[in-house]
Amino acid sequence: MDRVTWNVPYGEPTSLDPLKSYNYPENEVLSNLCESLMRVNPDFSVTPGLAESADHPTPTTWVYNLRKGVKFWDGKEMTADDVVFSLKRHLDPAEGSYWAGDMLTGNIASVKKTGAYQVTVTLKKPDVVINDYMATPLGAVTEAAFTRQAGAKFGTPDKGVMCTGPFALKKWDKGSQVTLVRNDAYWDESRKAKAKEFGFRFIVDPATLTNALKTGEIDGSYDVPTDAVDQLSNATNGTLYLGKSMQMVAIIGTGDGTFSDPRVRTALLMATDREAISRTVFAGTAAPLRSVVPPGSYSYASKVYEDAYDKLLPTTVDIEGAKKLVQEAGKPSGPITIAYPSERTVYEDILAEVQSAGKKIGLDIQPKGVPSARYGAFFSDAEARKGYSGFMTTNYFDVPEPLAFLRNHIDPGSAENYDKFSAPEITALLDQASAENDDTKRAELTAQIETKYMAKTPWLPIVAPSTRLFMNSKITGAPASFVYLYYPWAAAVGSAK
């Protein structure tokens, strides 16, 4: 296969420096260029990547034994120094890593070379989850000499990056495409890239993307727009695949006004027909959801998680029950304003259903479109959220570990704790679970946390969308699951013949 042309539907990457890669466009491309110490696989298992093994001798130490003979694209061998350098960049405030945060890097006491092929990370308090994060750009390894030399221009179209992945960066034509070229000296013989060249385009407009896929100008794309599902499932030149995902669509409560009462939030969730939303708005490509943790993310001890999930508030509509809760809450009459990015019609459709559910139980729901330009600030700026009771999100897990996700929502210091949720009992459970090495025991603790947290309905879970992948019949191999952000998926894409 000479060349595959792929689309990144969320737009052009802004940088290919792992430190600045925190979102769809950057990670979908970077996952094929720069590898991390650990790796998330298409079945959501986490296994060693550039590390040959990860040891956990004490609750606060993680020891990474590096693979020998791994070479950067320029032929230099990867050393423990490169790994220490790469990890430490996240700890340096001057580097401005988007991955730096209280819960992850804030807990790192030191990163040291403890052998020619060994790096040891010491933590302040026990954390099992951080090892999973070593599969994200937090654990990505770039060549120290190259990175230093490029300085502030590292990861830009001018300087590019220097990594070990199955593809190397060939050319980044600003505004039009990023071209990767196969790394013929790749260390893992069995996972060498099949295509000689891999080109990324960035068509954001749903209609244009659908047309480009139907005419074969684009060979494939993850996350094809939901409006295109009907057209693409009938396409004659390719197939639409639906795969396992770690994404979920929810309304985030800001804890403001009428909506600050958990009974009101729960009532609204009970009255909302999430099954109808899955069927109509998502054309059957999403499942109604009971929790902020989508079942797709159960990568271990699934039985424990499934049992707990089944006991959560069901997705069947219960108007009477909801009315009773509203009554208990003293029949609040104030408007509940819910924001959504006005460009995303899918949210408009969801909120239309939520609004009619509200009407049935005496709640005044007011959806309000906000331009994307302003919407971004809702996630980081309390000022921007002022006056809104809630806002829409499509959230995803970085790593297949429910605990990591819940921690981000519940920890008082986390930016994702939008409604200032705080319960000392739950916080204590979080610490306990973070220190638990045994998967089943950790799952039991995490499921407890989930149950207690969801009883308050701080976020209103709506649906869990499937990973929507379209591939032209000329090509094959892209994994149909939500791993394209951190797994070198493009290497597997090759000719269908």
Partner 1 sequence: MLGFLFRRLLALAATLIVASFLIFGALYLAPGRPETFLTQGRSISPETLASIRAQYHLDDPFPIRYWDWITGVVRGDLGQSLVFRQDVASLLAPRVGSTLLLTLYAAVLLVVFGVLVGVVSGLRGGLLDTVALVVTSMGFAVPTFFAALLLMNLFSVQLGWFPVFGSGEGLADRLWHLTLPAIALAIPSGAVVARITRTSIMEEKDSEHVATAIGRGLPRSLVVRRHVLRNALLPVTTIVGVNIAALIAGATVVEKAFALDGLGSALVDAVNQKDFAVVQAIALALVVAFGLVNLAVDVLYAWLDPRFKLGGKRS
Alpha-carbon gap, residue 435 to 85, rounded angstroms: 27
Residue choice 174, 191, 303, 359 for contact with partner 1 (CB under 8 A): 174
Contact 244, 259 (CB under 8 A): no
Q: Which two tokens stand for residue 386?
A: 């002022």
Residue choice 185, 276, 319, 377 for contact with partner 1 (CB under 8 A): 377
Site string for partner 1, 182-201 (x = CB under 8 A): -------------------x
- Should residue 381 be labelled a site residue for partner 1 when binding is judged by CB under 8 A? yes
Nearer to partner 1, 215 or 234 (CB): 215
Closest separation in Å from C-beta 210 to partner 1: 9
Site string for partner 1, 100-119 (x = CB under 8 A): xxxx-xx-------------
Instruction: Output the 3-class SS for 42-87.
Output: CCCCEEECCEEEEECCCCCEEEEEECCCCECCCCCECCHHHHHHHH
Contact 30, 167 (CB under 8 A): no
Residue choice 69, 175, 424, 425 for contact with partner 1 (CB under 8 A): 175
Residue choice 55, 77, 205, 438 for contact with partner 1 (CB under 8 A): 205
CB atoms within 10 A of CB 348: 16
DSSP output for 347-387: HHHHHHHHHHHHHHTT-EEEEEEE-HHHHGGGGT-HHHHTT
Residue written as token pair 């049935």: 360
Nearer to partner 1, 101 or 494 (CB): 101
Alpha-carbon gap, residue 472 to 322, rounded angstroms: 46
Closest separation in Å from C-beta 372 to partner 1: 5
Contact region for partner 1 (CB under 8 A) — 80-88, 187-195, 372-380, 448-456? 372-380
Nearer to partner 1, 89 or 244 (CB): 89
- Should residue 12 be labelled a site residue for partner 1 when binding is judged by CB under 8 A? yes
Contact 237, 422 (CB under 8 A): no
Closest separation in Å from C-beta 354 to partner 1: 22
Nearer to partner 1, 275 or 431 (CB): 431
Nearer to partner 1, 398 or 444 (CB): 398
Determine the size of the site formed for partner 1 (CB under 8 A). 56
Contact 108, 121 (CB under 8 A): yes
Contact 129, 401 (CB under 8 A): yes
* H-state helical runs in 314-344: 319-328
Closest separation in Å from C-beta 227 to partner 1: 13
Site for partner 1 in 113-172 (CB under 8 A): 152-153, 155-158
Residue choice 47, 53, 110, 176 for contact with partner 1 (CB under 8 A): 176
Site string for partner 1, 213-242 (x = CB under 8 A): -xx-x-------------------------
- Should residue 94 be labelled a site residue for partner 1 when binding is judged by CB under 8 A? yes
Nearer to partner 1, 125 or 374 (CB): 374
Phi, psi of 17 (to 5 degrees): -75, 125
Alpha-carbon gap, residue 340 to 366, rounded angstroms: 11
Residue choice 116, 185, 415, 455 for contact with partner 1 (CB under 8 A): 415
Residue written as token pair 């050393």: 79
Q: What is the DSSP letter of 155?
A: T
Q: Which two tokens stand for residue 211?
A: 């047309």
Closest separation in Å from C-beta 32 to partner 1: 20
Nearer to partner 1, 36 or 79 (CB): 36
Residue written as token pair 């699934």: 302
Residues sharing a CB contact under 8 Å with residue 12, sequence separation 6 or more, in sequence order: 25, 175, 178, 202
Residues that bind partner 1 (CB under 8 A): 11-12, 14-15, 20, 22-23, 93-103, 105-106, 152-153, 155-158, 173-176, 201-205, 207-208, 211-212, 214-215, 217, 372-374, 376-377, 379-381, 384, 408, 413-416
